[in-house]
Structure 1
Amino acid sequence: MINLKVRFRNPIFIAQLILAILTPILAYAGLTVQDITTWSALGQILIDAISNPYVLGLVVVSVWNAVNDPTTAGLGDSSNAMTYTKPKSGDSDD
């Protein structure tokens, strides 16, 4: 199991997840963020991506890499991480 409630309280995780979704889509389309100047352009790019199984596969792998914690065995968070109610700070006192 993954402690998504706590992960979504971490702005770094949210940015990582957004980039994990957008980067493969933009790369496949040969675009950069600067090329998306309107909401309708972004919507069209996302619709094109959803209709392409290869791009969806790239997004799934990218999101998997963003969500998976390689420091634990298996697919979920550690039992210790599952007890967190907020993201753990980098301080050793936490």
Structure 2
Amino acid sequence: MTKINWRVRLRNPQFIAQIAISIFVPILGYAGLTAQDLTSWAILLDLIIDAISNPYVLMIVIVSVYNAIQDPTTAGIGDSRQALTYNKPKGDK
């Protein structure tokens, strides 16, 4: 069974930013917008509703999130046995 150390990943600001970017960049790109175009909550809400109702955009977001979650240094999508034992992201020593 594939296991991912979600507790550690969700405590890592870099992972949170990577997931946010992998969701919003494909949506903005498909809509032909940039972050500067999101000048009101109504525009953002309309953009999210349009993205959710579009299967193509949802597939692009799913692929992008998959690429952000999977670890290319391990086989499959799960974390290594060593990474599953971490309580916080491993730092260089």
The TM-score, its normalising length taken from structure 1, stands at 0.94
Q: Any unmatched runs of 5+ in structure 2? A: none
How far 1:84 sits from its partner (Å)? Answer: 0.5
Per-residue Cα deviation, 1:40-89 (whole angstroms, up to 9, x for no partner): 21111000000000000000000000000010012200010000011111
CA distance, structure 1, for counterparts of residue 25 and residue 76 of structure 2: 26
Aligned to 1:27: 29
Q: Distance in 2 between matches of 1:74 and 1:30?
A: 33
SS of the residue corresponding to residue 33 of structure 2 reads: coil
Does structure 1 retain, via aligned residues, the 8 Å contact 2:8–2:89?
yes
Shift of 1:38: 1.0
Could you tell which deviates more after superposition, 57-66 or 39-48?
A: 39-48
Using the TM superposition, give the Cα deviation of residue 39 of structure 1 relative to its aligned residue in structure 2, in angstroms: 1.3
| Structure 1 unaligned residues grouped into runs of 5+ | none
Q: Report deviation, 1:25.
A: 0.2
Runs of 4+ residues deviating >2 angstroms: none
1:32-51 maps to which residues of 2 (within 5 A)? 32-51=34-53
Tell me if the contact between 2:69 and 2:77 (Cα under 8 Å) persists in the aligned partners. no
Aligned-pair identity (%): 63
What is the count of residue pairs matched by the alignment? 91
Q: How do residues 1-94 of structure 1 correspond to structure 2 at under 5 angstroms?
A: 1-89=3-91, 91=92, 93=93
Alignment-mate amino acid for residue 53 of structure 1 = P
Quick one: which amino acid aligns to residue 61 of structure 1?
V
